[in-house]
């Protein structure tokens, strides 16, 4: 016997002043869809509307395109990561190396423990970017904080690290930590070393003999 498709109940129309709640529901639904599929390029506004239980026209009142929706998703998730790293560093105290290590460990934990949100941050971009994406400001904050702490670490017998060197090391650290998270998510059954220990080792090796 053929079975009929299950449809999500239609959401009640938003009352005046409830537009922000609907926008949040749209973002949550789209985030979950990207997290489940791992591919933002398959996302459509009509599919998001069905997930939320509203008419497609309701989505267009908040997002003019799927590109705009994905970019806001990225901004939300990268913003969450930025705050997560900042809190981890602050909890580590004032020593710059301790703060660096805390940031690295927190980044890895965020990615491994929240794979859906992590996938959203690196979701596909559609077509040529129209200006600077909204999430870029958070990436700038992460790099600025990391570079400041790198430059504050004592370097016995070596000149202070300049801005260009610090930025290059930031890219190396991010590349390594992202690779670490991605491989652990793709190959969870491998005999990986302790995540904190590996993150610490990466920072020490990439940052060089700083002390």
Does a structural domain hold residue 59? Answer: no
User: CA-to-CA distance for 104 and 109, rounded, in angstroms?
Assistant: 9
Q: Which residue has the higher pLDDT, 126 or 113?
A: 113
What is the structure's pLDDT at 93? Answer: 95
Does a structural domain hold residue 113? Answer: yes
User: Is 32 strand, coil or helix?
Assistant: helix
User: CA-to-CA distance for 123 and 34, rounded, in angstroms?
Assistant: 8
Q: Is the torsion defined by CA of 202, 207, 209, 211 positive or negative?
A: negative
Q: Among residues of the chain, what percentage have pLDDT more than 70?
A: 83
Does a structural domain hold residue 34? Answer: no
Could you tell me the pTM of the whole model? 0.78
Please give the tally of structural domains in the chain. Answer: 1
Tell me the pLDDT tens digit for each residue of 164-191.
999 999 999 999 999 999 999 999 999 9
- Confidence band (pLDDT; 50, 70, 90) for 195? very high
Tell me the pLDDT tens digit for each residue of 43-80.
889 999 999 999 988 898 999 888 888 888 888 888 89
- Residue 96: which domain range? 72-207
User: CA-to-CA distance for 103 and 152, rounded, in angstroms?
Assistant: 15
User: CA-to-CA distance for 16 and 179, rounded, in angstroms?
Assistant: 46
Does a structural domain hold residue 13? Answer: no
Cα end-to-end span (Å), the chain: 72
């Amino acid at each position: 016997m053929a079975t009929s498709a299950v449809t999500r109940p239609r959401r009640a129309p938003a009352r005046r002043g409830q537009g922000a709640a609907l926008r949040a529901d749209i973002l949550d639904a789209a985030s979950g869809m990207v997290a489940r599929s791992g591919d933002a390029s398959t996302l459509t506004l009509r599919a998001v509307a069905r997930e939320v239980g509203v008419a497609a026209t309701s989505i267009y009142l908040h997002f003019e395109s799927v590109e705009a929706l994905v970019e806001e998703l990225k901004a939300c998730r990268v913003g969450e990561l930025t705050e997560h790293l900042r809190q981890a560093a602050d909890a580590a105290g004032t020593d710059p190396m301790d703060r660096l290590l805390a940031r690295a460990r927190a980044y890895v934990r965020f990615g491994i423990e929240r794979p859906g949100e992590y996938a959203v941050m690196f979701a596909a971009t559609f077509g040529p970017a129209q200006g600077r994406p909204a999430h870029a400001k958070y990436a700038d904050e992460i790099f600025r904080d990391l570079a400041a702490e790198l430059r504050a670490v004592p370097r016995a017998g070596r000149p202070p690290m300049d801005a260009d060197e610090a930025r290059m090391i930031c890219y190396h650290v991010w590349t390594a930590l992202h690779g670490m998270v991605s491989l652990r998510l793709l190959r969870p059954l491998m005999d990986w070393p302790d995540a904190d220990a590996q993150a610490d080792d990466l920072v020490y090796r990439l940052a060089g003999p700083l002390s």
